[in-house]
Structure 1
Amino acid sequence: MKNIFSILKFTTLLVVLFSVIYTMAILGIAQLAPNKGKGETISVNGKVVGYQKIGQKFDKPNYFWGRPSAVDYNAAGSAGSNKGPSNPEYLALIQKRIDTFLIAHPYLKKSEIPSDMVTASGSGLDPNISPEGAMIQVKRVAKVRNLSEEKVKALVETKINKPSLMGTSTVNVLELNVALDELK
């Protein structure tokens, strides 16, 4: 009986420590983060349209498309594909993505499509594409929106994020599409 009482006291202590104190400490630390720990949002006219660090699905021809997602852009469970590069199902999926991309971009050859436009990222939620991935979509977007290609290309160039020290340049698709909607 003595051991049971000790175990109950210890369990109660751990529940209070990890369910209450730890949670409150993390909440307190989050208040120091940008947007008080609610994530880096992007707003248009005071309405949140998305999160800067989480990819979203854009598949309409008047928008720039992001990377494909292995989890259909569901941020509740990020994941990549568990299929290897020689898996027949994976190869068929990539070929389907290439075919779909070429239908929307008939002016391209298969070899001109950057890999990030047909392969999902490790998390399945990558919000960025390569500058090349954005530039090859300029013609389609400009045509659908009745804008000059030069104007759309200039917009893309303003949205290229250069790496600080190492890495590659990227374009945040949501930021680019929000700026695109603001073009007159």
Structure 2
Amino acid sequence: MIQHFRPALVLLLLFTALTGLAYPFAIAGVASVAFPSQAGGSLMVHDGTVIGSALIGQNFASEVYFQPRPSATNTPDPADSSKTIDAPYNAANSSGSNLGPTSKALVDRVKAAAEAKLAAGWKAPLPADAFTTSASGLDPEISPQNALAQVPLVAEARGLDEAKLRALVAARTHGRWLGLIGEPRVNVLALNIALDALE
């Protein structure tokens, strides 16, 4: 029995060291040299201060900024740990709503979100990502249509020319990768940093 146990233990320790330590450290080292920004979390810096990551959305509450799509993330309720409360863009608790397409709760939530956008001055038709959440709840990007729909509101809140903001959105729009993969998108944090730089 011992003669079978010893080689198994040696192999377990060897492969744990190789696949659990050596390989991840080697890949992290190569990535930090070849792709330093991405390996470091794609951090975004403004005026010498790290203000976020290009990979994780942030909640912008002020009307003077472009808004991200809604987020379904939550956090435990401080008053009752058996319940949760909404916590938009909570990176510690990435999640979608997990509600199916026939869910009345989902239909009611989407309808309420769309009505709130229209009441806030958005013009119909609304882009779908203006009132639907992403699967992760942390999506940092919106569609160009969503950004352009917000231009009149942000222009009014800041007293800026709409044409100038449309040009800013166009300049910050990323197309499909290799012209084929994905959809055109706008990173909300990068757009809002560029927006602050206009003034």
Question: Which residue number corresponds to residue 84 of structure 1?
Answer: 100
Does 2:129 align with 1:116? yes
Q: Structure 2 CA distance, aligned partners of 1:143 and 1:77? A: 34
**Number of positions where the alignment pairs a residue of Structure 1 with one of Structure 2:** 181
Question: Which residue number corresponds to residue 172 of structure 2?
Answer: 159
1:117-151: CA deviations, max 9, x gaps?
11112332222111111111111111111222232
Question: Which residue number corresponds to residue 50 of structure 1?
Answer: 52
Does 2:185 align with 1:175? no
Q: Structure 2 CA distance, aligned partners of 1:19 and 1:161? A: 36
Q: Structure 2 CA distance, aligned partners of 1:128 and 1:37? A: 20
Q: Indicate which of 124, 133, 149 corresponds to 1:136.
A: 149
Q: Gaps (5+ residues) in structure 2?
A: 74-87
Q: CA shift at 1:41, angstroms?
A: 2.1
The SS at the match of 2:60 is: coil
The SS at the match of 1:171 is: strand
The SS at the match of 2:52 is: strand
Q: CA shift at 1:37, angstroms?
A: 0.9
Q: Structure 1 CA distance, aligned partners of 2:162 and 2:60? A: 20
Q: CA shift at 1:12, angstroms?
A: 2.0
Q: Structure 1 CA distance, aligned partners of 2:38 and 2:188? A: 24
State the 4+ residue runs in structure 1 displaced beyond 4 angstroms.
none
Answer with 134-143 or 152-161: which moved more. 152-161
Q: Structure 2 CA distance, aligned partners of 1:144 and 1:96? A: 23
Q: CA shift at 1:153, angstroms?
A: 2.3
* Superposition map of 1:31-110 within 5 A: 31=32, 32-35=34-37, 37-71=39-73, 72-105=88-121, 108-109=123-124
The SS at the match of 1:79 is: coil
Does 2:24 align with 1:23? yes
Does 2:163 align with 1:150? yes
C-alpha change, 1:7 and 1:133, in structure 2 (3 Å) is same
Q: CA shift at 1:59, angstroms?
A: 2.4
TM score, norm. by length of structure 2: 0.80
Answer with 7-16 or 49-58: which moved more. 7-16
Query: Partner amino acid for 2:100?
Result: G
TM score, norm. by length of structure 1: 0.86
Q: Structure 1 CA distance, aligned partners of 2:45 and 2:120? A: 29
* Structure 1 vs Structure 2 CA RMSD: 2.1
The SS at the match of 2:97 is: coil
